[in-house]
Structure 1
Amino acid sequence: MNRLRQLLRRALALPLVAALAFFALTVPGAAASQAATPRTVTSVCANQAFPTGYIVTAVSNTGSCQGSLLYTVALPSNGAKACTVGIAFPAGWVVIAGTTTGQPQCDGIYETQTINQPYNGILACLGSSLPNPYVITAISGGTYAPCSGQSMTLNQETPGIVACANTSIWNNYVVTAVSGGTACAGYGQETLNPVHSGIVACGQGVGPAGYVVTEVWSSYPGCGLTEGLQYTTPYNGIVACSNSTLPAGWSVTSYRTDSSCAPFEGETLQN
């Protein structure tokens, strides 16, 4: 009798196991919860492909990499110290401090740089990468101790912001005025504004994408020694100045003398 009961229990258990397996395969998320999470990389040999998005936090010569150095790696975080082994930091981080001598955790060979995500008013080391949409609004005139060099103040690009002339300009902003001053340690200053059809910008740097020049001034109020350029959204038949960079899909159908474009020619555009 006991033997019969055991056989019955086993027979009843088999459909239950099959049902649970079917449930795991058919219910969304049930199987996924059992899936292994992606492996976190903690080290890599210098002669191997470097994992995207990581920084080097330590360097050692353990002999485990067949003559190459061993890098200890981690995902970036605010205040992390990275060994300067020549690998670019992930986008969106700036350097806020650095050493000038090799550090023990970097095998005594490489210096370190401290990184942080930017925020309005942050002091970063001059020469650090500049992430969109931040611009340089001031540069220290002397040495900023954490950087062992000059620092730069970063702020997000907004209409009317006054930035240093050596800054990157993002998001189709243009320079609408230039000035001197001491805030940028001799680089000069620029007032930045978002482009729109009809805006007059100071003629320096690359023109805004998707616009053409429709009038040129040899001098323009607020632009100092640079020319003034009026930017306009193109339309079929528009007469643009030949110093325009044509947007994709537009071509010149004819040329003409146009006093608005002097000393450049006028050109009729068609899409």
Structure 2
Amino acid sequence: MKALFSVKNYLGAAIVLSAFSAFGVFAQTVVCSNDAIPAGYVKTALTNRPACNSGQGWQIELPYENQLVCRSSPVPSPYVVVPFGDNNTTACGEVRLRIGNARENLQICAGSPIPSGYVITNIDSTPRGCLVGQYYIRQATNGILACGNSPVPPGYVFTWNGQSSVCGNTYGQRRFEIARNGMLVCADSSIPDGYVVTQAYDNNGQTCTFGQRYIQLPTQAIAVCPISPIPAGWRSSGSVSTNSCGNNFPQALILTRN
């Protein structure tokens, strides 16, 4: 059975493709080790490839459940790193990680990417098949409690933070809620696109460590705090005195539609 080799260019990266003529399909896809990995692929082995300037190439594949990938491989969403990789370095010249599809209440390794829409709800610092501990993830829902190192899901804000035994003393815990017109959010919460800050409060950490912000959807001539984002389609057209934005901001901005 004769192996055929060719070099193709993919998004500026030299990819060595090897195929078996008897089947007419590619048995392996290899990208030169000094080139970028195509989006959506993972690295599964390091091989010798004379056609590459570096002399080596990464064997790449589309990801699948319970797959072992090289430690330096990208992990495409919605995949995550799960416990019990492989410390044998023969295949990759480095240890391998195990990946799986993100799902509800899944245990993943600390340091794994978190897919969009998921939050971290529990931290276990004792290694149990992972190098430096594990996280548990869930899909975000309105009012969910998540750890402070959790990404903020698109369209969400956090409205409370405090300490929690399930998240450890380092990160604490936050309550995530879907953003809505006219709500108090923690001062260090991100503000979703399209919203403005119209009031700022210092509550001495009773609800949020750094105080709170009141967010609204903009209306014509609305007065917003200088710390507020200005949504697309709006501009500042002046200012007005205010006592709603804290001692550091005696003036509010007046917003007008473009």
Task: Tell me the TM-score range normalised by the shorter chain.
Answer: 0.7 to 0.9
Is 1:82 aligned to 2:69, yes or no? yes
Give me the whole-angstrom Cα distance separating, in 1, the residues matched to 2:217 and 2:158: 17
Of 157, 160, 168, 1:174 maps to: 157
CA–CA separation in structure 1 for the residues paired with 2:131 and 2:125: 13
Map of 1:1-271 to 2, 5 A cutoff? 42-44=28-30, 45-47=32-34, 50-61=37-48, 63=50, 65=52, 67-84=54-71, 86-97=72-83, 99=85, 101-106=87-92, 109-144=93-128, 146-186=129-169, 187-219=171-203, 223-263=207-247, 264=249, 265-271=251-257
Q: What SS class does the counterpart of residue 105 from structure 1 fall into? A: coil
SS at match of 1:196: coil
Q: Taking structure 1 as reference, are residues 230 and 105 closer, same or farther at Cα in structure 2, changes over 3 Å only?
A: same
- Aligned in 2, Cα 1:157/1:39: closer, same or farther, shift over 3 Å? farther
Paired-residue identity, %: 27
In the aligned structure 1, how far is the partner of 2:37 from the partner of 2:244? 54
Pick the structure with greater CA Rg.
Answer: 1
TM normalised by structure 1 equals 0.78
Deviations 1:103-158 (A, max 9, x none): 2222xx211111111111101111111111000001103222x1122100000010
Q: Distance in 1 between matches of 2:100 and 2:124?
A: 19
> Aligned-pair distance for 1:49?
5.4
Q: Are 2:33 and 2:54, in contact at CA under 8 Å, matched by a contact in 1? A: no
Q: SS of the counterpart of 2:246?
A: coil
Equivalent residue of 1:139, what SS?
strand
Matched residue type, 1:158 = T
User: Residues 236, 79 of structure 1: CA spacing in aligned structure 2 closer, same or farther, 3 A cutoff?
Assistant: same
Gaps of 5+ in 2: 1-23
Shift of 1:91: 2.2
Relative to structure 1, the CA distance from residue 255 to residue 241 in structure 2 (aligned partners, 3 Å threshold; closer, same or farther) is same
User: CA–CA distance in 1 between the matches of 2:102 and 2:113?
Assistant: 11
Alpha-carbon distance in structure 1 between the residues aligned to 2:140 and 2:168? 20
- Cα distance in 1, alignment partners of residues 207 and 173 from structure 2: 11
Is the Cα–Cα contact under 8 Å of residues 41 and 73 in structure 1 kept in the other structure?
no
The Cα offsets for residues 171-213 of structure 1, whole Å up to 9 and x where unpaired, read as 2211111121111122100001001110101111322211111
Equivalent pair of 1:41/1:74 in contact (CA under 8 Å)? no
Quote the Cα distance in structure 2 between the aligned partners of 1:153 and 1:221.
27
- Contact kept in structure 2, 1:98 and 1:112, CA below 8 Å: no
In the alignment, the residues of structure 1 paired with residue 210 and residue 147 of structure 2 have an alpha-carbon distance, to the nearest angstrom, of: 16
Q: 1:49 to 1:194 in 2, by over 3 A?
A: closer
- Alignment RMSD, CA only? 2.2
Partner of residue 9, structure 1: none
Q: Secondary structure at the match of 1:115?
A: strand
